[in-house]
């Protein structure tokens, strides 16, 4: 038999010219088995029932014309018609008999694979792949069926036939119309692969790109106990890991974020051949454990990069990948079981940026994982199960517990999707990305809190957290053509507080980060006073319980603080790497620190916290020095473990050089010495004393970053929180300008860094002109201001050059 008419091919026999014969996904399995296994990537062996075998079966069973007639009479916009037609075609295929030759070849191949497994009836996975599926520009989550833990001739033959019939699932028919593929132009192959015993181990999904922002330098891994269908179908909230690709190697361990998932249930083998898998609850101990070790995360990440590089070379363009993996619980070995090109970010237009912004004081009804970076409004349609999809109308917001591929016919009609369950790699998340609609996934309580018929606004524009608000809110959409944004001599960097939006913001033309704040990370992610974590064993029982709940997966409470702060700041440093990112050490006031869990035990009550125990005076104080060392350890982890040496640090509110020396001594004691491995240590210039004694401060620090809010407050004697005196003056006051000018000149004279972080240049155009005239090195702004201010700065620079 000619090779292009092969009924069955082993993975090792699939060539580059046979993608049409075996489908994109199964071709990749064959290719990875042959080529990538030589680089250390593990792929389980298997065989493929080819697309030729499928077509031969359909022709010999006399089904082609019958299928064609049924499809021509179907109304694709009528869900009942679609459902009825699909069901009839699938039934015809399932009831037809395989040709004797195909039947024989499948059984012979299955016996051979069982022998390799070492069992009479080996356990296999049966995976489908259409000839138009899983290619760049056309990939759909769960378009066709997969069957796990299939064993025995009878059940393998049945699973292959059911996989073939799934070419005419309702969602597959609808998807082909959506993508413009002819129904009879597409064939389907079926891969039969040795099962990895992940039922006793773990499994999940890996994307070699940030799926929301398209940021190319990170890799996302989702992981859960048991078989991978739970993650793929979104039935479980998995662990999530983020790896910085640029620093992967033997020297660094760049796992820059780890999120513990709920992992309430898992899928394992059952003892019934007719129903080979079942769902069971996880133990509380397993739920509170991370599924993968750092070493395993890094191993997967390295394989992900190898696979991405291979297919990028193959397609002659950057090709991020969507990969499924499984860990064998018996051997501990990890395998790649499936790979396909990611089809959303790889097709994105990189020449322009579309920004969505929503300003509201409304309290969200629910929040969850943000999918996409858009905002949409619509009338909520709460649907309990797929049986209720017939009444869904175009433009409504779908609210449900979870979706699977059977929901696809209405998902493309939705303005937004909200699910109570699932993770970043769940079915609802993947389909929403492909359709280009915002989704909020894992929004607990959504079906109760969002009433059917209520108009809501879904916002996924600000980072990794998505929000659903009541009512139709106004938002702004702005498109920026990157080629039109001017370059400037003055560096324009960003002020960043939340790591969640950093990958999105990094796409805006910038010169790094002039001010990264720790406060948001400590308040919203860590939530516990560092001294309470240091003194954990001495705390009252009730407070310990509260801390235990927040620190699941961390027995070492001090390490929890270090890890979570490092993860938050590390994401910002990774987003802007290799550009400089200046992180300011924590600048909470006593009243703000007191709101953290356990904070009231450690914070004094002050009449005026704004000029009280904050900044440098806090770090050097015996009551806080050990807590400050935890911050230093986090910065050290980012630089030495993650490999992000673009990170610089900054000391706020430093009243005297002597106080500054005390802080530098503690930093050195913690291993974070100024100048060590090129570490830059800056100081905020926000007090009159910083200007008056500029040379003394510049003797011990690497430069200034001018903080105009506090400098104006303390120069003018204005309480910036007082509305009564707010109108007297502002940063544009001549006295403040004089201080700014002196600070700039001092740094220029000493050849030290001088930057400005504050909104004054955005708020007062003449203040911007003043800074440009003074030749400030860098202006750091909130992300929304960066692009418009680049035009203003360019204009001012041209005016100055012409004089």
Sign of CA dihedral 482, 486, 489, 492: negative
Alpha carbons 116 and 8: distance in angstroms, whole number: 17
The runs of H, that is alpha helices, within 133-185 are: 153-165, 170-179
Sign of CA dihedral 98, 104, 105, 109: positive
Q: Which of 144, 427, 505, 529 is catalytic?
A: 427
Alpha carbons 332 and 329: distance in angstroms, whole number: 5
Alpha carbons 240 and 560: distance in angstroms, whole number: 17
* Assigned token pair, 80: 């009942």
Q: Which of 632, 654, 685, 757 is catalytic?
A: 757
Residue with the two structure tokens 């399932």: 94
* Assigned token pair, 245: 């690709």
Alpha carbons 627 and 619: distance in angstroms, whole number: 8
Instruction: Sort residue 443 into left (φ over 0), alpha (ψ -120 to 50) or beta.
Output: beta
Alpha carbons 312 and 339: distance in angstroms, whole number: 13
Alpha carbons 311 and 187: distance in angstroms, whole number: 23
Buried b (16+ CB within 10 A) or exposed e, 675-710: eeeebbbbbbbbbebbbebbeebbebbbbbbbbbeb
Alpha carbons 396 and 92: distance in angstroms, whole number: 35
The rounded Cα 759 to chain-centroid distance in angstroms is 29
Non-local CB neighbours of 703 within 8 Å, separated by 6+ positions? 680, 682, 683, 747, 752, 753, 754, 755
Buried b (16+ CB within 10 A) or exposed e, 124-138: bbbbbbbbbbbbbeb
Q: What angle do CA 222, 225, 229 make, to 5 degrees?
A: 70
Q: Are strands 124-130 and 146-150 parallel, antiparallel or unpaired?
A: antiparallel
654 is catalytic: no
The runs of H, that is alpha helices, within 8-152 are: 19-22, 24-34, 51-60, 64-72, 79-95, 100-117
Alpha carbons 129 and 138: distance in angstroms, whole number: 12
Residue 362 per-residue DSSP state: P
Angstrom CA distances, 29 to 129, 172, 183, 311, stand at 11, 22, 25, 12
Alpha carbons 739 and 758: distance in angstroms, whole number: 15
- The answer to whether 571 and 242 are in contact (CB under 8 A) is yes
Alpha carbons 529 and 532: distance in angstroms, whole number: 5
- The answer to whether 325 and 142 are in contact (CB under 8 A) is no
- The answer to whether 221 and 297 are in contact (CB under 8 A) is yes
Exposed/middle/buried for residue 548 (C-beta within 10 Å: 0-12, 13-18, 19+): middle
747 is catalytic: no
- The answer to whether 708 and 736 are in contact (CB under 8 A) is yes
Instruction: Quickly count: other Cβ atoms within 10 Å of residue 565's Cβ.
Output: 25
Buried b (16+ CB within 10 A) or exposed e, 150-165: bbbeebbbbbbbbbbb
* Assigned token pair, 36: 């990538």
Phi/psi of residue 496, nearest 5 degrees: -130, 130
Q: Nearest CA to 370 among 356, 360, 359?
A: 356
Instruction: Quickly count: other Cβ atoms within 10 Å of residue 746's Cβ.
Output: 20
- The answer to whether 669 and 629 are in contact (CB under 8 A) is yes
Catalytic residues: 427, 757
């Amino acid at each position: 038999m000619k090779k292009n008419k092969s009924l069955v091919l082993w993975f090792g026999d699939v060539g580059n010219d046979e993608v049409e014969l075996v489908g994109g996904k199964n071709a990749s399995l064959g290719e990875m088995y042959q080529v990538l296994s030589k680089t250390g990537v593990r792929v389980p062996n298997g065989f493929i029932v080819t697309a030729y075998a499928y077509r031969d079966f359909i022709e010999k069973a006399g089904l082609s014309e019958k299928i064609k007639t049924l499809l021509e009479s179907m109304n694709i916009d009528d869900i009942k018609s679609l459902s009825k037609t699909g069901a009839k075609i699938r039934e015809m295929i399932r009831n037809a008999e395989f040709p004797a030759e195909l039947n024989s070849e499948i059984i012979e191949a299955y016996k051979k694979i069982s022998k390799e497994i070492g069992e009479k009836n080996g356990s296999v996975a049966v995976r489908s792949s259409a000839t138009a599926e899983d290619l760049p520009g056309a990939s759909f989550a769960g378009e066709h069926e997969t069957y796990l833990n299939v064993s025995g001739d009878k059940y393998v033959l049945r699973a292959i036939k059911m996989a073939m019939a799934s070419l005419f699932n309702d969602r597959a028919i609808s998807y082909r119309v959506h993508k413009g593929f002819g129904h009879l132009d597409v064939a389907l192959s079926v891969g039969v692969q040795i099962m990895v015993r992940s039922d006793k181990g773990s499994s999940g999904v890996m994307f070699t790109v940030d799926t929301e922002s398209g940021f190319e330098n990170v890799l996302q891994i989702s992981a859960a106990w048991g078989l991978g269908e739970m993650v793929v179908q979104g039935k479980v909230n998995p662990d999530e890991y983020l790896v910085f690709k640029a620093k992967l190697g033997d020297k660094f361990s760049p796992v820059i974020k780890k999120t513990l998932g709920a992992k309430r249930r898992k899928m394992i083998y059952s003892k019934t051949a007719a129903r080979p898998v079942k769902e069971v609850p996880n133990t509380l101990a397993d739920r509170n454990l991370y599924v993968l070790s750092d070493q395993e995360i890094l191993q997967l990440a390295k394989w992900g990069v190898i696979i991405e590089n291979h297919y990028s070379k193959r397609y002659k363009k950057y090709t991020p990948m969507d990969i499924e993996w499984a860990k064998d619980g018996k051997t501990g070995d990890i395998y790649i079981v499936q790979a396909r090109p990611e089809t959303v970010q790889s097709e994105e237009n990189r020449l322009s940026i579309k920004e969505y912004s929503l300003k509201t004081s409304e309290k969200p009804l629910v929040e969850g994982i943000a999918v996409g970076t858009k905002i949409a409004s619509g009338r909520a349609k709460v649907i309990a199960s797929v049986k209720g999809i017939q009444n869904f109308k175009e433009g409504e917001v779908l609210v449900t517990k979870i979706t699977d591929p059977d929901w696809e016919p209405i998902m493309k009609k939705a303005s937004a999707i909200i699910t109570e369950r699932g993770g970043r790699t769940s079915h609802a998340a993947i389909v929403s990305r492909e359709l280009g609609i915002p989704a909020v996934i894992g929004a607990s309580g959504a079906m109760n809190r969002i009433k059917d018929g209520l108009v809501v606004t879904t916002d996924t524009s600000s980072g990794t957290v998505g929000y659903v608000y009541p009512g139709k809110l106004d938002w702004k959409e702005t498109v920026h053509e990157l080629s039109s944004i001017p370059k400037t001599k003055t560096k324009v960097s960003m002020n960043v507080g939340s790591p969640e939006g950093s990958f999105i913001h990094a796409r805006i033309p910038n010169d790094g980060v002039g001010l990264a704040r720790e406060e948001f990370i400590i308040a919203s992610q860590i939530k516990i006073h560092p001294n309470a974590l240091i003194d954990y064993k001495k705390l009252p029982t009730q407070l310990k319980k509260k801390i235990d709940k927040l620190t699941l997966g961390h027995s070492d409470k001090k390490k929890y603080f270090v890890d979570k702060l490092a993860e938050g700041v590390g994401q910002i440093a990774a987003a802007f790497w290799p550009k400089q990112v200046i992180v300011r050490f924590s600048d909470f006031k006593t009243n703000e620190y007191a709101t953290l869990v356990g904070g009231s035990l450690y914070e004094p009550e002050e009449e005026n916290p704004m000029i009280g125990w904050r900044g440098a005076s806090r770090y050097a104080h015996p009551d806080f020095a050990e807590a400050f060392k935890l911050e230093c350890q986090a910065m050290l982890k980012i630089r030495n473990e993650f490999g992000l040496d673009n990170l610089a640090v900054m000391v706020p509110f430093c009243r005297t050089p002597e106080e500054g020396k005390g802080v530098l001594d503690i930093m050195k004691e913690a291993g974070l010495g100024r100048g060590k491995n090129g570490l830059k240590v800056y100081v905020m210039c926000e007090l009159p004393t910083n200007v008056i004694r500029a040379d003394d401060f510049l003797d011990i620090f690497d430069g200034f970053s001018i903080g105009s809010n506090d400098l104006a407050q303390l120069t003018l004697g204005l309480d910036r929180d007082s509305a009564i005196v707010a109108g007297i003056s502002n940063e544009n006051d001549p006295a403040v300008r004089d201080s700014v000018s002196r600070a700039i000149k001092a740094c220029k004279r000493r050849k030290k860094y001088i930057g400005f972080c504050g909104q004054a240049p955005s708020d007062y155009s003449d203040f911007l002109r003043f800074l440009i005239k003074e030749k400030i090195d860098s202006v750091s702004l909130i992300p929304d201001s960066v692009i418009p201010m680049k035009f203003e700065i360019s204009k001012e620079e041209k005016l100055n050059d012409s004089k």
